[in-house]
Amino acid sequence: MKVIAINGSPRKNWNTDTLLKKTLEGAASVGAETEIVHLYDLTFRGCVSCLACKLQNGKSLGRCVLKDDLSPVLARLHEADAVVMGSPIYFSEVTGEMRCFIERFVFQYLNYDNFSQPLSPAKKTAMIYTMNCPEEMLDKIGYTAMFKRYEDIMIRFFGNCTPLLSTNTMQVKDYSRYHLGAFDADAKKLRHETVFPQDCQKAFDLGVQLAASK
């Protein structure tokens, strides 16, 4: 069993990265081989619509032909048993790197002859999101619909998807250094000390679930 985590955050050892690593810890605890990929360490771009992955009788059918730092990652993902993607929410969306990754990861498998039969291999997937937004505001500002859209994409192409949301997260350790006066620094710190560990446990449990037998 191979579980690969894709970190779409530019910040290592912070909220998203921490939850992804906890997920991999959970997977490893039941014997899975694990790997984490930091997208911001790679030089790559999104889909360029060359359609080489759609060529009839082509060797590249169903596989992205762009050659950059993401190419070997996509090859490993193709063979992996489970993929967990994590991203903070910036400007009401996943990060630009995560969006570019999803384009390359998923579009190669899109079957324009039969939309209901993608070219992707079945595998377990999960989406982890971290965000400053409180949980009670998710519907109002459209986050719930966005998360459902990405979940539906993963289900359509890989057969399943488990979401994990970490809301109202602490952005920085020292709020006094930044123009962040709209936030209650003490409340953020308290939540990080009390609620975020619960999110970490959920991530660990998710890893166990992802590494379970098919």
Q: What is the mean pLDDT of the segment spanning 127-136?
A: 96
Average pLDDT over residues 32-59: 95
Tell me: pLDDT of 199 over 70. Answer: yes
For helices 196-211 and 185-194, give the axis angle rounded to 10 degrees: 40
Q: What is the mean pLDDT of residues 172-191?
A: 94
Name the token pair of 19. Answer: 């939850």
Q: Which of 31-35, 58-62, 174-178, 182-186 is least confident?
A: 58-62
- The topology (CATH level 3) of 2-211 is Rossmann fold (3.40.50)
The predicted pLDDT at position 57 comes to: 83
Task: Point out which residues pair with 90 in neighbouring strands.
Answer: 93
Q: What is the pLDDT of residues 98-128, one digit of tens each?
A: 999 999 999 999 999 999 999 999 999 999 9
pLDDT at site 59: 87
pLDDT interval class at 214 (50, 70, 90)? low
Domain ranges of the chain: 2-211
3-state helix, strand and coil shares in percent for the chain, rounded to the nearest 5: 40, 15, 40
When pLDDT is averaged across residues 161-165 and rounded to a whole number, the result is 98
Determine contact, residues 214/35, Cβ cutoff 8 Å: no
> What is the value of pTM for the model shown?
0.95
Average the pLDDT over 6-17 and give the result.
Answer: 97
Return all residues near 174 (Cβ < 8 A) that are at least 6 apart: none
**DSSP 8-state symbol, 133:** S
**What are the pLDDT digits (tens) for 42-55?**
999 999 999 999 99
Residue 62 identity (one-letter amino acid): G
Which tokens is 60 given?
Answer: 């590249």
Q: Is the pLDDT of residue 30 over 70?
A: yes
